[in-house]
């Protein structure tokens, strides 16, 4: 089988020779190569469609974030799939809320203050939950996975998780 890479050179795949082959019926000519820029150029309609799609994605992202962050932020504290407590984030100057959760490994301390919610101590080995710091935006989560403690921040609307995975 011969393949013509351009008009001057023909390659035969049966005998792997770059010369003329005795099988003229198996000759195949490839179209001339295009540069990548020419192949991806597109028309004005393509560009307009792409711009409309990106605008819709940005608008949907904004609307979802606005819906999640509706109202004052509330911190929900879970052990496993059980809701233990819900506290609104206090305003500046109010006393912080200290909450102790008895988890699988031991006691985890959650502090909720004007700067946000954070885990200040936990018996887990890696301490990633403690090192993550304070979270104050709706949709943020702090998880101590080994101790099965979750602090989820949400807007004050009546929204819950879509699912809880064990």
Q: What would the pLDDT profile of 3-19 be if each residue is shown by its tens digit?
A: 444 444 555 555 555 55
Residue 5 is predicted with a pLDDT of: 46
Average predicted confidence (pLDDT) for the chain = 80
Q: Which of 97, 90, 99 minimizes the C-alpha distance to 121? A: 99
Q: What is the pTM of this model?
A: 0.57
Q: What would the pLDDT profile of 121-159 be if each residue is shown by its tens digit?
A: 999 999 999 999 999 988 899 999 999 999 999 886 555
Q: What would the pLDDT profile of 82-101 be if each residue is shown by its tens digit?
A: 999 999 888 888 889 999 99
C-alpha of 156 from chain center: 24
Q: Which of 31, 33, 25, 32 minimizes the C-alpha distance to 14? A: 25
- Sorted by where each begins, the domain ranges of the chain are 1-32, 74-154
Q: What would the pLDDT profile of 37-82 be if each residue is shown by its tens digit?
A: 766 777 888 889 999 999 999 999 888 877 766 678 899 999 998 9
CA distance 53 to 156: 31
Q: Which residue has the higher pLDDT, 112 or 164?
A: 112
* CATH number for the segment(s) 74-154: 2.60.320.10
Q: Which of 150, 8, 155 minimizes the C-alpha distance to 71? A: 155
Percent of the chain with pLDDT over 90: 46
């Amino acid at each position: 089988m011969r393949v013509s890479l351009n008009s001057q050179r023909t390659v035969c795949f049966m005998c792997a020779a770059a010369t003329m082959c005795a099988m003229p019926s198996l000759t195949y000519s490839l179209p001339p190569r295009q540069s990548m820029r020419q192949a991806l150029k597109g028309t004005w309609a393509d560009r307009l469609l792409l711009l409309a799609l990106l605008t819709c994605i940005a608008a949907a992202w904004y609307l979802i974030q606005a819906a999640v962050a509706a109202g004052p932020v509330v911190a929900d504290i879970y052990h496993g799939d059980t809701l233990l407590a819900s506290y609104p984030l206090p305003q500046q100057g109010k006393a912080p809320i200290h909450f102790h959760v008895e988890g699988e490994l031991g006691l985890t301390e959650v502090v909720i203050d004007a700067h946000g919610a954070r885990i200040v101590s936990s018996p887990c080995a890696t301490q990633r939950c403690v090192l993550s710091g304070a979270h104050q935006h709706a949709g943020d989560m702090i998880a101590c996975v080994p101790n099965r403690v979750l602090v989820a921040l949400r807007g004050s609307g009546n929204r819950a998780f879509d699912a809880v995975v064990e």
